[in-house]
Amino acid sequence: MADDQETFAAVEDLEARWRALSGTEQARAQVLLEDATDLIKASCPRWASATGATRRRIVCAMVKRAMASDQTADVTAGGYGVEPRGLVASETHTDGPFSDGFTYSNPEGGLFLRKAEAQLLGGRTGRAFEADLLYSAVPR
């Protein structure tokens, strides 16, 4: 396992921004912090231009989203213990003939960067550009 110097944030940073974690949750958080750091390095080539505080904040937000999707977490450790597929993003109810519908924000608990977060980290790998394919065919 990598040490904290290789990740953009430590488990203590996540706990300070969210809540106290149980021992099992701390172990999972460490792995997710490493994965989130790797995801940023792989998808945002200019990540080094962001400040350490920005990288720390974004990695913690990514891990919090992933861990919040596990609503079956230990209730005594601050977990919710309510929804097995994560945080509910929207729900629909109908009275007759009895209908219910739920949409979950991150049902699989994956790590992802929001567009604004990627911009704060210097942008993603791809950029749009224009190429004039007829430049040599047009007399100038």
Write out pLDDT tens, residues 12-53. 999 999 999 999 999 999 999 999 999 999 999 999 999 999
| Per-domain residue ranges of the chain | 4-81+109-120
pTM of this prediction exceeds 0.85: no
Give yes or no for a contact between 139 and 69, defined as CB atoms under 8 angstroms apart.
no
Asked if 109 contacts 67 with a C-beta cutoff of 8 angstroms, the reply is: yes
What ranges in the chain are assigned the alpha helix state H?
11-17, 23-43, 52-68, 115-120
Q: Residue 21 class from Cβ within 10 Å (0-12 exposed, 13-18 middle, 19+ buried)? A: buried
Residue type, 137: A
Of 43, 38, 69, 37, the C-alpha closest to 56 is: 37
